[in-house]
Amino acid sequence: MTPFTQENEMFRLSLRQLVEREIVPHAPEWEEAGALPRDLFRRLGEQGFLGVRVSEACGGSGLDFWSTAVLVQELVRCGSIGVAVSVLAHAEFATKVIDRAGSEEIKDLFVRPAAAGERIGALGATEPDAGSDVGAIRTRAVREGDDYVINGAKTFITNGSIADFVTTVVRTGGPGHRGISLVVVPADAQGFRRSRRLRKVGCHASDTAELAFEDCRVPARYLVGPENGGFKLIMQGFESERLVLALICCQQMRLMWEEARRYGHERKAFGQPLLGFQVWRHRLADALTSIEAAEALTYRAIDLYVRGEPCNGEISMAKLFAAESCVGVAHDCAQIFGGNRYMEEYAIARLQRDSLAFSVGAGTSEVMREIIARTSGLEPREEAR
Ligand SMILES: Cc1cc2nc3c(=O)[nH]c(=O)nc-3n(C[C@H](O)[C@H](O)[C@H](O)COP(=O)(O)OP(=O)(O)OC[C@H]3O[C@@H](n4cnc5c(N)ncnc54)[C@H](O)[C@@H]3O)c2cc1C
C-alpha cells in the first residue's frame, strides 16, 4: 500500500515532467561543471518545489514530509544524484531550521527568497577537526555590539561555492554542546570566504566547498533560535536530513536495479542472456529484497516523523540500512555490466560511485548504530560501569 496521497501524486506528476524536460537533458553538463546553475533553483522555486515544507507565511506550501519524499524521489530519477543532494541541502537542510526557529525578520530575509529559488542556502556544521562530534566545533562567534564576529572554518559544505547564505553552526558559549548556536551568514558578509572547492569521488553535480570565516561580521539578529540553543535545533534538523538521505538511497537503488535488469535481459554470454543464469536472477532478487526492506523502514520512519512521534531510533535504522544496502546493491547491480561497469558512458558507473557518500553524510553508519543502541536500551547500565 502506498503512503502517498492523491495530492502527493499530482505533485509527483508535475515534478516528473519538469525533471524530464529541464533536468535530464542538462544533468551531464552539470556533472562536468561540478555544480547546479542558479537558474535551476529559480525554475524549481517558481513552480513551488522548493518551499514544500516551508510555512505558507513565508511563501511555501506548508505541506508535510511526504511531499519532500516525492521531491527527493523524482529528483533522483534524473540519474545524477548530486542534483537531489544540492537541491535538498538548500531547501531542507539550510532553510527549514530558519523557518522553524528564526525570527520573522530572518525568515523574510532568507527563507522567503530560498523558497522562491532566488537565494541559495547551505548548512555549515562540519569542520576540519569536528564532524560526527558536532559538540566539538570550534568556529567561534563573539558578540561585539549589535554584531557577531565569527572566526573559524567549515569543510565538506554542500552548495558552499554557490550559496548566498550559510546556516552556520558556531560556538557562542563554553565547551560542549551547550555552547553552540546557529547564525545565518550571508555570502557577502565581510570576512566570509569560500576557500576551496572540493573535488569529490561522486555526486559531481552538487558543489562541495571549504569555507573560511575571518573576523566575519554579521548582525546578531541573524541568530536562529536562542543563543547557546543551537545543538537541539541541529539534532532536530538531522532527523529530516537522515530521512532525505535514506530516501535518496532507496530511489538510487531502484534506478541501479532497473539498469541491471535491463542489461541482464539484453546482454548475452555463453549463448544466453545473463539473466538466464540463476546466479544473476538470485543476486537481483536479493537486491530487490534489500530495496523493499529499506523503503519499508524509511516509510515507517517518515510516518512516525510526520505524526510527531519520537522516532530517532527508527530514522537511524532507516538511514543505516538504506545507506549500507545502497553500497551492496550498487556493487551487485554494477557487476552484471562486466567491463562496462567501469565506463563513464554507462549510468551505472556514475550511480555506483555516487552511492559511497551516504554512509557518511548527515551522520555516519557508526553514529546511526550508536543512536539505535542508545534508543533501544543497549548502553551499559550505570551500576555495571
Ligand atoms: C558528499 C558530502 C556532503 C556533505 N555535506 C555537508 C554539508 O552540507 N554540511 C555539513 O556540515 N557537513 C557536510 N558533510 C559532512 C558530513 O556530515 C561529515 O563527513 C560526517 O558527519 C562525518 O564527519 P567526519 O567526516 O569529520 O568524520 P569523523 O567524525 O572524523 O569520523 C571518522 C570515522 O570515525 C567514526 N566515528 C566517529 N565517532 C564515532 C563514535 N562515537 N563511535 C564509533 N565510530 C565513530 C565515523 O563513523 C567515521 O567512520 C558532507 C559530507 C559528504 C561526504
Active site residue 345: no
Contact predicate 304/231, CB 8 Å: no
Contact predicate 54/99, CB 8 Å: yes
CA of 360 to the centre of ligand 1 (A): 5
CATH topology of domain 121-231: Butyryl-CoA Dehydrogenase, subunit A; domain 2 (2.40.110)
Whether 17 lines ligand 1, by a CB cut-off of 6 Å, is: no
Tens digits of residue pLDDT in 194-231: 999 999 999 999 999 999 999 999 999 999 999 999 99
Whether 203 lines ligand 1, by a CB cut-off of 6 Å, is: yes
CA of 125 to the centre of ligand 1 (A): 10
Q: What's the grid cell of residue 378? A: 543497549
Q: Which of 83, 127, 132, 316 to mutate to test the pocket of ligand 1 (most atoms within 8 A of CB)?
A: 132
Annotated catalytic residue, options 74, 239, 241, 295: 241
Whether 123 lines ligand 1, by a CB cut-off of 6 Å, is: yes
Report which ligand 1 atom has the smallest distance to the Cα of 154.
Answer: 11
Report which ligand 1 atom has the smallest distance to the Cα of 130.
Answer: 26
262 Cβ neighbours under 8 A, 6+ residues apart? none
CA of 146 to the centre of ligand 1 (A): 34
CA of 81 to the centre of ligand 1 (A): 19
Rg of the chain on CA atoms, in Å: 21
Domain 232-384 has CATH 1.20.140.10: yes
Whether 367 lines ligand 1, by a CB cut-off of 6 Å, is: yes
What is the spatial distance between Cα 371 and Cα 24, in angstroms, rounded to a whole number? 37
| pLDDT attached to residue 145 | 98
Whether 208 lines ligand 1, by a CB cut-off of 6 Å, is: yes
| pLDDT attached to residue 382 | 77
For domain 6-115, the CATH class is mainly alpha
CA of 366 to the centre of ligand 1 (A): 10
Atom 41 of ligand 1: nearest residue by CA position: 367
Q: Which of 97, 360, 379 to mutate to test the pocket of ligand 1 (most atoms within 8 A of CB)?
A: 360
Confirm whether 6-115 and 232-384 share one CATH topology: no
| pLDDT attached to residue 1 | 79
301 Cβ neighbours under 8 A, 6+ residues apart? 243, 246, 311, 314, 315, 317, 318
Report which ligand 1 atom has the smallest distance to the Cα of 160.
Answer: 8
Q: What's the grid cell of residue 34? A: 561540478
For the chain, the domains span: 6-115, 121-231, 232-384
CA of 359 to the centre of ligand 1 (A): 9
Closest CA to 257 of 211, 302, 291: 291
Whether 160 lines ligand 1, by a CB cut-off of 6 Å, is: no
Atom 27 of ligand 1: nearest residue by CA position: 131
| pLDDT attached to residue 192 | 98
Atom 43 of ligand 1: nearest residue by CA position: 366
| pLDDT attached to residue 385 | 66
CA of 185 to the centre of ligand 1 (A): 22
What is the spatial distance between Cα 68 and Cα 24, in angstroms, rounded to a whole number? 20
Cα dihedral sign for 334, 336, 338, 340? Answer: negative
Contact predicate 115/60, CB 8 Å: yes
pTM here is 0.97
Low-confidence spans in the chain with pLDDT less than 50: none
